[in-house]
Chains A and B, each alone.
Chain A
Amino acid sequence: MSLTGLLIANFTSPERIPTSPQATLWILPLMVAIVVVYKATKLSEIALRKFLKETAGLFLSILVFIVLTALVLHIIAYLISM
């Protein structure tokens, strides 16, 4: 199969993604995209160092919040099912 054919084939058949806890990790690339675009629209001037710093800061703060929320929900589910 040619390279072009292989590329087109990749976009015409879905990937295999099992319904597992690991599938939630697909949120991470999406978070990066949201944070990058948000910061690209908010910063008055785009300087590489400042942009990377701001992006990393926002990404980490969202990630920490998600992990904390997951922990709290997990504890609640554990207590309910005890």
Chain B
Amino acid sequence: MPPAPNVFFLLMVGLAGWFVPGAGYLFLGEKKRAIIIFITITLTFGIGIYIGSIGVVDPIGAKFAYIGQLMNSPAVALIGRVTTGGGYLVYGRPNEIGQIYTVISGMLNLLCVVNVIYMANLREPSPGWRF
């Protein structure tokens, strides 16, 4: 019978992947994968807020998009707090493209979090990360 997965380790890997895109893979010793995912997701989110400004993160006017954007990292909530006052209004095509970029980067990070938990479940944690 295979050993039961270490739930704390799985939770830690998933949370790390959410806090910093790609960080969950570092726990599994997948350095290259972690770097690729970190750069790609951060850059995609960065392009989104560059095109549409930080105003595309709108917890009040665009709640559903905000949920997707939050999947990038909890740090997005800090941007949400700044933009809640309505000082960074953005409309039209820049708003659309900015929201699409930031939401899709969030969804990609969610995919990575699910994938890293799955990979961690299949593997034993590396010796440096035993609890």
Which residues on A are within 8 Å of B, measured CB to CB?
Answer: 10-19, 23, 26, 29-30, 33-34, 36-38, 40-41, 46, 51
Contact = CB atoms under 8 A, between A and B. Distances in A.
B50 A34 contact: no
A14 B55 contact: yes
B51 to A, nearest CB: 5
B94 A15 contact: yes
A10 B48 CA distance: 12
B104 A34 contact: yes
B121 interface: no
Contacts of B95: 14
B80 interface: no
Nearest to B56: A14
Given A34-B104, A37-B111, 6 more contacts: A12-B55, A14-B53, A14-B55, A19-B92, A36-B40, A40-B112
Interface residues of B, number: 33
A30 B100 contact: yes
B64 interface: no
Contacts of A29: 44, 47
B97 A37 contact: no
Interface of B: 30, 32-33, 36-37, 40-41, 43-44, 47, 49-55, 88, 90, 92-95, 97-98, 100-101, 104-105, 108, 111-112, 115
Q: Main SS of chain A's interface residues?
A: helix
B100 A16 contact: no
B94 A37 contact: no
A16 to B, nearest CB: 7
A37 B41 contact: yes
B98 A46 contact: no
A46 B53 contact: no
Given A30-B44, A41-B112, A46-B33, A14 B94 contact: yes
B115 A41 contact: yes
